[in-house]
Amino acid sequence: MTMKSVKILFLFFLFNSLLFAQIPTRLLSSQIESKIDSIIRLMTLEEKLGQLNQIGGTWYDTKTERLNLEQTAMLKAGKIGSFLGITGAIETGRIQRIAMEQTRMKIPLLFGYDIIHGYSTITPIPLAEASSWNPELVQQSARIAAIEGSAIGVHWTYAPMVDIARDPRWGRIAEGSGEDPYLGSVMAAARVKGFQGDDLLKYGSLLACVKHFAAYGAAEAGRDYNSVDLSERTVREIYLPPYQAAIDAGAWTVMSAFNDIGGVPSSGSSWLLTDVLRKEWGFTGVVVSDYTAIMELIHHRIAKDSTEAGIIGVTSGVDIDMVSRIYVDKLTSAVRSGKLSEEIVNEAVRRVLRVKFVYGLFDDPYRNSKPGKEKELLMKKEHRDVARQMAKQSIVVLKNERELLPLSKNVRSIALIGPLAGNENRRELVGTWAWAQKPELVVSVIDGIISKTSPGTKIIYDKGCEIESDSGARIEQAVKAANRADVVIAVMGESQGLSGEAASRTILDLPGRQKELLKALTATGKPVILVVMNGRPLTLEWESENISAIVESWHLGVETGNALADVLFGDYNPSGKLPVTFPRNTGQIPIYYNHKSTGRPFVPADKYTSRYLDAPNTPLFPFGFGLSYTTFGYENLTLSASTIKSTQSITVSVDVQNIGKRSGEEVVQLYLRDDVASVTRSVKELKGFNKISLNPGEKKTVQFTIRPDDLSFYNLSMKKVVEPGTFTLYIGGNSVDCMEASFEVIE
């Protein structure tokens, strides 16, 4: 034995005794860093690259062993640092035991999984949750997801997805919080806090992963995986704020996106991953690539082979290679041949180990692998209660002519029509990213309505048509059902696979023959309520002109039927507001409320202004819009000053009164416009909101503080500044119908 190997052996034993000598649960970050130093010193290059390697498992199966022989051998050789998609307390425990007992370094594994809107207790899709404008509830929803995720052995959820999306053709709009950077930031922070809890070391917390960094939502033409080309100004002003808000809220991991931005793939962008994320924002956690995104650097044609792709990825700041296996397979020789500095690898390993430390895995590698917990925690009654509350508040009423809604629970007969109304398509109601869904545990609309209405109410159900098929064979029968009832509830929209990843669409009408069915139902002359279930804004222009009541349900999760019945029959007064603009037709896309003025703002009488010949510029339903069963009046808009210095704040207050007959909640929204600036600014930007509840006749004063940061923007040198001049502020219940006031900022 040489001196060198004696030394290594000594360090190795020292390290193991350090590991098992009861490491205190709460380590100071300096203690963690010095532990990491000693671990890295003991690791071989292969083991280091192993920590940067994430292997994919099979998604659905929780019963059988999920590593094949090759993967098991890799694991034992220390060549795997984390897994994706392996769940189950027993199986994650079994695999962790291999890492802890049969690898040289005994470094615990991380288990990652996409828990986007609940695991077993599936809550509404994120776009729906954003419609609640209720961050506390969204935080609770993420909390129950984290508790259930912990129960199934997972440590790390690939959420929240915080990509701003201005294009509803892009199916992944369903996974985010819509089009607005402010609302998106509030929701991003709420979800991170919900997933990570108030203490990562406590049972029931998951590591959050902010994705997809960055600007994936701006995929050209709304086609998934497509290129993005945006100015740095737009990236910073519109797309980056929610990621930063998530980091500020304490997110420990980030996922680098598939897309390139202006010629640089996000997963190979040192500007994004090192300059902005780490140097500007001070992020010290881990960046994981999106699925095979390191390999895709070759398809982007910025790397000629996998070695080059791996070098670009790790050098620009992607620490973990999700399933490409390029780091583990190719980077050893890249380091040995001098093409890649081992220091860069060490830095990435340091971040991975840091996250494993802060999550307490060195202390208790089996923290989430406790078999009894699955039974105890999945689909708990309390979790379903949160899911129902969340679902109710996610619903947005878009039209309600002559107060058709709410319906009486004693209505004599209801024709319940449509492919999403009955029990057979229950799996579609939960929406995208719901791998563990059990359709039999989803409350269908028919069941929700039956349990809400009086025993005497007759419910005549007919599917009417399929979600997507070409056949209109059942339409006539559905019309007969409608004719026999007092009121028609049509439940239509998209299947779960029509939104989410790889689900872009160019036509956003109701799919298949559903619109034809709806037209036939309307022709009966019966009052029709349309309940739309979807993962994105649909084009509902005909519907908005011809249907008396439209309820935007989105994909609401396991409590769909109960939540909808609560709203349809008035047990809950709807309070949801759109987090995204609804276009009249796809030709208007991209359409969003915070657009620029242009040099030729629209003037109705002037053809040579910014307009279409065949459609208005205005959306069908604007951002922030949603109806209640009561009415809210706004008055007394008051500012604390008419002039402030650029370093000062200003307070604005408004009285909001419930002038209708039912108790209800209103989302009071505050928008600002910088009237004149050195670069063009949006016509209006959301800067605050407050969801309040009011009894009939009750009045509340709502107050907002506008801080210098709310007034600032990136100037020509990309510095955030507040420029002197006048500002207009708008307050109201949506982005269009607002009261206005103005104030001036001086040096």
| Enzyme catalytic residues | 290
- Smallest gap from Cβ 264 to ligand BGC, in A, equals 19
**Position closest to ligand BGC via CB:** 158
Q: Binder to ligand BGC among 48, 50, 62, 114 (CB under 6 A)?
A: 114
Q: Tokens for 231, please give them.
A: 């100015």
Query: In which residue are the tokens 């620029």 written?
Result: 596
Q: Which of 318, 224, 203 is nearest to 267 (CA)?
A: 318
8 A C-beta contact, residue 467 and residue 422: no
Residue nearer to ligand BGC on the CB measure, 114 or 674: 114
Chain position carrying tokens 């509902």: 540
Q: Which is nearest to 735 in space by CA: 577, 518, 546, 565?
A: 577
Q: How far is the CB of 226 from ligand BGC (least distance, A)?
A: 13
Q: Look up residue 523 and give its amino acid.
A: A
* Total residues in contact with ligand BGC, by rule CB under 6 A: 7
Identity of the residue, 159 or 489, whose beta carbon is nearer to ligand BGC in the bound complex: 159
Cα gap 146→332, rounded to integer Å: 36
What is the nearest approach in angstroms of ligand BGC to the Cβ of residue 209?
A: 7
The number of helices, as runs of H, and strands, as runs of E, in the chain is 23, 26
Pick the closer one to ligand BGC by CB: 224 or 329: 224
Contact 421, 444 (CB under 8 A): yes
The DSSP-derived string for 13-41 is HHHHHHHHTT--SS--HHHHHHHHHHHHH
For the beta carbon of residue 277, count every other beta carbon within 10 angstroms: 26
Residue type, 672: L
Of residues 67 and 531, the one with the C-beta less far from ligand BGC: 67
* CB of residue 197 to ligand BGC, shortest distance in Å: 21
Q: Does 158 bind ligand BGC (CB under 6 A)?
A: yes
Report in angstroms how near the CB of residue 164 gets to ligand BGC at its nearest. 15
Asked if 357 is part of the footprint of ligand BGC (rule: CB under 6 A), the reply reads no
Residue 291 beta carbon to ligand BGC: minimum distance, rounded to whole angstroms: 4
Given a contact cutoff of 8 angstroms between Cβ atoms, the answer to whether 413 and 458 are in contact is yes
Nearest CA to 651 out of 633, 668, 665, 637 is that of 637
Which residues partner with 461 through β-bridges?
A: 416
User: Closest separation between CB of residue 56 and ligand BGC, Å?
Assistant: 8
Interface pick for ligand BGC out of 47, 290, 319, 543 (rule CB under 6 A): 290
Q: Is 291 in the site for ligand BGC (CB under 6 A)?
A: yes
Neighbours of 613 (CB within 10 A): 5
Both tokens of 357, joined, read 């430390």
Shortest Å, Cβ 290 to ligand BGC: 5
User: Which one, 86 or 449, has the nearer CB to ligand BGC?
Assistant: 86
Nearer to ligand BGC, 255 or 563 (CB): 255
Cα–Cα distance measured from residue 578 to residue 626, given in angstroms and rounded to the nearest whole number: 6
Return the number of the residue (152 or 491) whose C-beta is nearest ligand BGC.
152
Q: How far is the CB of 178 from ligand BGC (least distance, A)?
A: 17
Among positions 487-526, residues that touch ligand BGC (CB under 6 A) are 501
Planar angle of CA 544, 389, 462, nearest 5 degrees = 50
Interactions with ligand BGC, residue window 180-219 (CB under 6 A)? 211
Q: What is the largest CA-CA distance in the chain?
A: 93
Distance CA 61, CA 55 (A): 16
Instruction: State yes or no: residue 224 binds ligand BGC (CB under 6 A).
Output: no
Retrieve residue 711's tokens: 């007034």
Instruction: Check residue 167 for interaction with ligand BGC (CB under 6 A).
Output: no
Please state the closest distance from residue 736 (CB atom) to ligand BGC, in A: 33
3-state DSSP call for residue 575? Answer: coil
What's the CA angle centered on 240, arms 219 and 221, to 5 degrees?
Answer: 10
Nearer to ligand BGC, 143 or 211 (CB): 211
* Planar angle of CA 75, 77, 82, nearest 5 degrees: 35
Q: For ligand BGC, give the closer residue by CB, 158 or 572.
A: 158
Partners of 156 in beta bridges: 112, 207
Nearest-approach distance from CB 257 to ligand BGC, in angstroms: 8
If one counts every other C-beta atom within 10 angstroms of the C-beta of residue 105, the result is: 18
Compute φ and ψ for 207, nearest 5 degrees: -70, 135
**Toward ligand BGC, which CB reaches closer, 225 or 714?**
225
Stretch 651-680: interaction string toward ligand BGC, x if CB under 6 A: ------------------------------
Residue 90 phi/psi, 5-degree rounding, is: -70, -50
Per-residue b or e along 20-48, where b marks 16 or more CB atoms closer than 10 Å to that residue's CB: eeebeeebeeeebeebbeebbeebeeebb
Q: Are 530 and 550 in contact (CB under 8 A)?
A: yes
Nearer to ligand BGC, 133 or 291 (CB): 291
Give CA–CA dist 584/334, Å, rounded: 54
DSSP state of 378: T
Question: Which residues from 593-612 bind ligand BGC, rule CB under 6 A?
Answer: none
Point out which residues bind ligand BGC (CB under 6 A): 84, 114, 158, 211, 290-291, 501
